[in-house]
Each structure stands twice: as structure tokens, then as C-alpha cells.
Amino acid sequence: MGRHYDLAIVGGGIVGLGHAVAALRRGLTVAVVDRASGVNGASVRNAGHLGITGQEGEARSYADLARELWLTLSVETGFWLRESGAVVVAQAPDELAVLEEFRDRRGGHDVRMLTPAQVRERIPAGDGVAAGGAFLPSDLQVDPREAAPAIARWLDAHGVDFFWQTAVTGVETGRVHTSRGRVSADAVVVAVNQDVDRLFPGIAETHGIQRCGLDMMLLEAELDEALAAPVLTGWSLVRLPGFAHTPSAQSLRERLALEDPVLAALDTDLGCVQRPDGSLVVGATRTRGDDVPPFQSEVAFELLLERTRALFGLGVTRVLERWQGIDAVAPDDFLVSSPAPSVRVVSVTGGAGMATGLGLADRVVDELFSTAPGVLTAAGAARSR
């Protein structure tokens, strides 16, 4: 590891890869260090719905930039992406009220209200299930098992050095100490998602970072027709910030908790996304703590399966896979901390890493290298294509 780099990145998930993309766009030399053998964390264990519209404030700013970058990278690297939008199925008047309030705040360009018939035109909802809904045209869909690994391969082919299966034991200005030796760089970004406490326990404690285990499953289900877009439900409306801040969201939250106390206790977001091979990703329920137990509740899976069958009017379904993703959560949506000069600890702690991570990374690299002459930001590169 004798080469000196402009930027060394600890962590090969979507946020770490986003920093590498941003640095490469600026003509910088980059190294990525990760203890795994490839991308296998939360970046490949999600549903693949890039929820742009439901973000708010700072998160929406990052998401809008990330959207440009996802569109550009899909062309450059060749991974599957579709400008699908997303469909929210409202199954009760209080869910419709949240959608209407959200539409009134955002406008019709961001949120298009749907009648029950229009919901059925877009997705095969079961008979009588939809009281109405909304279409969110800015949302995107990728196959997460393909997208982040494709970005890593593209970066590798364009000169970024990856050191997989390499543990990081310490970070300081200008140096990353690893199990394979020292990596030297002008700047260092630590993007290890929930594992901030492994290298910087003080930062993790100060910012209240915990681990969040997300339990999901993959179904073989005979839908009447393919899903034209990711599908969100009332459970999504009490979790996504933009919807959750509407006046009617609290009463919706209370009603869902009364009707489904188990799902409410598990901070459920019942969403469904169809992968390109036709299988259906369903989830997620959540467990938070300093550590996440590996034991998954079958009761939670049975409830998710029951609600999904009712949503689409399904008969026989077969569970193909169950899995647990682990993500970072904290009171704030983003962590950007500087424990030493030219060192940044960066994590998306609001549960929207895929939707916002590329945008956040671009801003961090811009701040670290803003004095470099003649550089082109990733956003500018995206717009110039």
C-alpha cells in the first residue's frame, strides 16, 4: 500500500461508493477499504425503491441530487433502473387525508392524487382495497443486488483502488491503519454505516447512533399483472418524513397502532417492490438497539404476508427468502463529523441511504476539496451529459 491517494474511504457501501464517484468526477485518486469481500451490507439488502418524494428539508436536497446521479450512473455502469415513480395505496379515509395534505404542501407536480380506478390501472390491488391513492413521479427503482456492486466494478475499472477483506484498525489525519498495512491520503472519509462505534465510539455516543435491524422477505406470488412501480401503504405514510409531518399523520398512526399493535411496535413500513425477475420484495419490520439480535420473529413475517395477500388479493404465495439488513439510526437524519483535520465520519442515520447517500457524499467531497482548481462536481457532470 505504498501509493498516496487524494482520498481514502473506509466503507464500500452506497455512501462510501458515492464519495468515490464524487472524487473520481473531480479527477482525484481514490482508495476504498472494506472488511467484506464485496458489497453485501444494507446497500444490497433493501427493496430497491429510491424514495425521493417522501424526503423533506435537507434530506430532500440530497435526494434530488442523488436522483441525478443514479440516472447518470445507471447509463454509465449498465445496471437496471427505471423511472417508475411510486404508488401509494390509501385503504382508509385517514390515509387519503394524509395524501391530500401532502399534495397541498408539495403541489401536483410532486404528488398526483389517484381515484380507486386509477390505482387499479397502475397496480393490481385487490377488489375494494383502494379508497384512492397517489402517484409519486420522482421516485426511482433499482435492483439493489445489482446496482451498488455494478458501481463498485465501474469505479474499479476507472482507476479506484479497492482493498476488500481488509479491516481498519485506526484513522487519523493522512492515514488509515489496516490489517494489510497503512493507506496514506490527503483526506479520509469513514462511511461504515452503523459501525461508527467500532472506530469512533465517542462520536456514536454523542450523536445517539444505534443499529436498526430490518426484516424483509422475497415472495413468489402470482399477481394479476406486473407492478408498474413500488407500492407504499398507510404504514409508509407514518414513517416517511414528508407524509409523517402532515396534520393527519398522528391520528393515522394512532389508528394503525390500535388495529395492528404488533406491527406498530415493530415500526413497520409495509411496502412491496417487484424485482426484474418477477419476485416480490416485502417489508420491513424493525428492531433497534446497540446490537441487533439475529433472531427474526415469525409472527411479524406472518403478519406482513397476510397484509400483502390482502393488498393484492393473492391466494397461494411462496416465501423464497428471508433476510435481515442492518442500518444506522439516530435522532438526526445525517451524521457528518470531523474528528481530525481532513477526516470526515459520514453516515445516513434516517433510513434513506439509497435515496440520499449519493447526494450527501457529493456534498461532503465538495466541502473537502472545494479549493481544488478546475474540478467538476458530480452534479455538474450529471447535468452536462
92-128 burial: b if 16+ Cβ within 10 Å, else e:
eebbbbbbbbbbeeeeeebbebbebebbbebbbbbee
Average pLDDT over residues 34-45: 96
How many other C-beta atoms are found inside a 10 Å radius of the C-beta of residue 190?
A: 26
Express each pLDDT in 4-16 by its tens digit: 999 999 999 999 9
Q: Is the pLDDT of residue 384 over 60?
A: no
The string of pLDDT tens digits covering residues 110-161 is 999 999 999 999 999 988 999 999 999 999 999 999 999 999 999 999 999 9
pLDDT in tens, 161-182: 999 999 999 999 999 999 999 9
Quick one: pLDDT at residue 269?
93
- Which of the four pLDDT bands, split at 50, 70 and 90, describes residue 370? confident
Per-residue pLDDT band at 371 (split at 50, 70, 90): low
Structural Rg of the chain based on CA atoms: 21
Degrees, nearest 5: CA angle 253-257-260: 130
**DSSP assignment of 21-85:** HHHHHTT--EEEE-SSSSS-STTTSS--EE--TT--THHHHHHHHHHHHHHHHHHHH---EE---
Give the whole-angstrom CA distance, residue 248 versus residue 99.
Answer: 9
CA dihedral 241, 246, 248, 250 (to 10 degrees): 40
DSSP codes joined into one string, 286-321: EEEESS--SPPPHHHHHHHHHHHHHHHT---EEEEE
- Answer yes or no: are the C-beta atoms of 347 and 198 closer than 8 Å: no
pLDDT more than 70, % of the chain: 96
Residues 6+ apart with CB under 8 A from 40: none
The pLDDT of 263-279, averaged and rounded, is: 95
Q: Taking Cα atoms as reference points, which of 83, 88, 141, 84 lies closest to residue 113?
A: 88
Are the beta carbons of 165 and 88 closer than 8 angstroms?
no
pLDDT at 375 over 50: no
| The pLDDT of residue 372 | 44
Alpha carbons 287 and 162: distance in angstroms, whole number: 32
Outline where the chain has alpha helix (H): 14-25, 58-77, 93-106, 116-122, 144-157, 196-199, 201-207, 234-237, 241-244, 249-259, 261-265, 298-312, 353-368, 378-384
**Cell digits for 284?**
420491513
> How far apart, in whole angstroms, are the C-alpha atoms of residue 211 and residue 201?
13
**Residue 342: band (very low, low, confident or very high) from pLDDT cuts 50, 70, 90:** very high
Amino acid (1-letter code) at residue 74: S
pLDDT tens digits, one per residue of 193-202 = 999 999 999 9
Query: What is the C-alpha separation between 52 and 110, in angstroms, rounded?
Result: 10
134, 113 Cβ separation under 8 angstroms: yes
Which residue in 324, 330, 323 sits closest to 345, CA to CA? 330
pLDDT confidence band for 376 (50 / 70 / 90): very low
What is the chain's length?
Answer: 385
Residue 373 has pLDDT above 70, yes or no: no
Rounded Cα gap, residues 170 and 167, in angstroms: 9
Please provide the distance, in angstroms rounded to a whole number, between the alpha carbons at the two ends of the chain: 35
Kindly state the average pLDDT of the residues 241-266: 96
Kindly report the number of other CB atoms within 10 A of residue 38's CB atom.
Answer: 14
